[in-house]
Structure 1
Amino acid sequence: MTEHLHFSTLLRMIDERSAAFRSAVAAAPDLGADVPSCPGWTLYDLANHLSEGDRFWAHIVRDTAPGDERPTKDGLAAPRDREALQAWLADSTEQLLTALREAGPDRGCWAWWEPLASPHTVAAAARRRVPESMIHTYDAQLASGAPQELPPTEAADAVEEFLATVCTVTAPWPGEPATMDYHATGAGSWRQTLDAAGSRFTRLSATEPAPDEPTAAVHGTASEIALLMYMRIPADSLRVEGDAGLIQRLQEWD
């Protein structure tokens, strides 16, 4: 992957992953089913969380500007009746999509991340919601007993989006300087650099070797690497070269 996905593609992906989430909820034995990847949560808790996030970000893209104080959520809880919940989930996603379409990709808005590799724009907010919907769809599928591999295009973009939004920070890396390479089969490669200046990433060339050996490198499909980043699967389920302990140190880094 060499370019960011088009805004309309991001909106389509949110819509598709949200529909897949509703399908997983419909397939689950009941709303009280445990979500193995979210300890202590039931499927209802997960559905409430995702719908709350959709409504929250709809408000953000409609009503906020960069630098605003953190907005508050509406505090509304999703209904516990399964049929009503499905309608609530669909309406929550439609509120988000409508807000995104009406605002347009270039409008500025509040965001919680440092605006270094991921700006405080509606397009970046839409890009952030794709893995939110996708990963929580995987969670819901686990609860229903039928987890599926993440869609490849969404998963590849989720890897880079995670590096840009969650991992690009100016907080000093507490350990020795290190580099972590991520190689997603057929989808791209990235290097995360960690030092006293914080964390940042670069894309690695598909045709030229990396400038030097990384501290560690992880190899897998885009789906596997995205699930690893979101701590849905263990590192030992992928091929890791070099200092495998770096993955745990990254996951534990505040």
Structure 2
Amino acid sequence: MTEHLHFPTLLRMIDERSAAFRAAVAAAPSLDADVPTCPGWTLYDLANHLSEGDRFWAHIVLNTVPGDERPSKDGQAAPREREALIAWLADSTEQLLAALREAGPDRGCWAWWEPLASPHTVAAVARRRVPESMIHTYDAQLAAGDPQELPRTEAVGAIEEFLATVCTNTALWPHEPATMDYHAAGAGSWRQTVDAAGSRYARLTAAEAAGSKPTAAVHGTASEMALLMYMRIPNASLRLEGDADLLQQLQDWD
């Protein structure tokens, strides 16, 4: 199971990463700047997406229960003038944080992921919104010409959250059974196992990581590992051992 950060810490991280996103929007040469890591999107498109997500999940945690049909988004677009957009982003984040505080971490709600390692709770939504805010802040910084390394604690949380929420499922793996180890220097190691039963993960102890013989293993910093998982940097950016095709197969797997 994921070693979860405390709920107030998650809320603080959302607030901090959202503030960093707004700072990148304020510093960018234009809201029409291309976002290299989101092909076809401008910085405005990215800002509209993030604010829409904040408002969407604010509604979900207060108004849904597990098993509900996927709620619809309100479709209200963010303003296109920079100052108004930044204020809209701040209000969107505050709506999300206020909803999370009001609902509390243990309340159940709708979620799109399988509840195997990441339950359908408000706490899990908060964990999901931290990397959403953080990765999109990196996207915005890249569009503004000043990408920053991801904060280490948030990056480690993003690695585990990705493995628990995105990668843990019961979908049939269409290739030979395999194991992929992820080693974040000084931050921890994880193993993803894929086979006919689906995908699952486990955190490795230092001894297990040192003696493991996986199908493939990837090595990098916590920031690099999180960016790799969200496909923000190329696979060749990190050191890969073993089956060179496995990482690409995992990324291509629906």
TM-score by length of 1: 0.98
Q: How many residues align?
A: 253
Q: Is the 8 A contact 2:18 2:93 kept in 1?
A: yes
Q: CA deviation at 1:197?
A: 0.1
* Residue 118 in structure 1 maps to residue 123 in structure 2: no
Q: Is the 8 A contact 1:60 1:71 kept in 2?
A: yes
Q: CA deviation at 1:212?
A: 4.3
Q: Is the 8 A contact 1:184 1:225 kept in 2?
A: yes
Q: How does 1:76-87 map to 2 (within 5 A)?
A: 76-87=76-87
Deviation track 1:166-214 (CA, whole Å, cap 9, x = no partner) reads 0000001010000000001111100000000000000100234566410
User: SS where residue 4 of structure 2 aligns?
Assistant: coil
Letter in 1 for 2:44: Y
Counterpart in 2 of 1:217?
A: 217
* Residue 183 in structure 1 maps to residue 183 in structure 2: yes
User: SS where residue 207 of structure 1 aligns?
Assistant: helix
Deviation track 1:61-103 (CA, whole Å, cap 9, x = no partner) reads 0100000010011110000000000000000000000000000
Moved beyond 3 Å, runs of 4+: 207-212
CA distance in 2, matches of 1:185, 1:210: 12
Deviation track 1:110-130 (CA, whole Å, cap 9, x = no partner) reads 000000000000000000000
Q: Is the 8 A contact 1:108 1:120 kept in 2?
A: yes
Counterpart in 2 of 1:158?
A: 158
Q: How does 1:197-236 map to 2 (within 5 A)?
A: 197-209=197-209, 212-236=212-236
Letter in 2 for 1:102: E
> RMSD of the TM alignment (CA)?
1.0
Q: Is the 8 A contact 2:220 2:238 kept in 1?
A: yes
Deviation track 1:7-29 (CA, whole Å, cap 9, x = no partner) reads 00000000000000000000100
User: SS where residue 71 of structure 2 aligns?
Assistant: coil
Letter in 2 for 1:96: L
* Residue 251 in structure 1 maps to residue 234 in structure 2: no
CA distance in 1, matches of 2:192, 2:138: 25
CA distance in 2, matches of 1:240, 1:118: 28
Letter in 1 for 2:14: I
Structure 1 unmatched ranges of 5 or more: none
CA distance in 2, matches of 1:124, 1:210: 31
CA distance in 1, matches of 2:179, 2:253: 15
CA distance in 2, matches of 1:206, 1:96: 37
Letter in 2 for 1:170: T
Q: Is the 8 A contact 1:138 1:150 kept in 2?
A: yes
Q: Is the 8 A contact 1:60 1:109 kept in 2?
A: yes
CA distance in 2, matches of 1:99, 1:4: 20
User: SS where residue 79 of structure 2 aligns?
Assistant: coil
Query: Among the aligned pairs, what percent are the same residue?
Result: 84
Letter in 2 for 1:154: E
Letter in 2 for 1:252: D
Letter in 1 for 2:86: Q
User: SS where residue 123 of structure 1 aligns?
Assistant: helix
Q: Is the 8 A contact 2:135 2:227 kept in 1?
A: yes
Deviation track 1:219-241 (CA, whole Å, cap 9, x = no partner) reads 01110000000000011111110
Structure 2 unmatched ranges of 5 or more: none
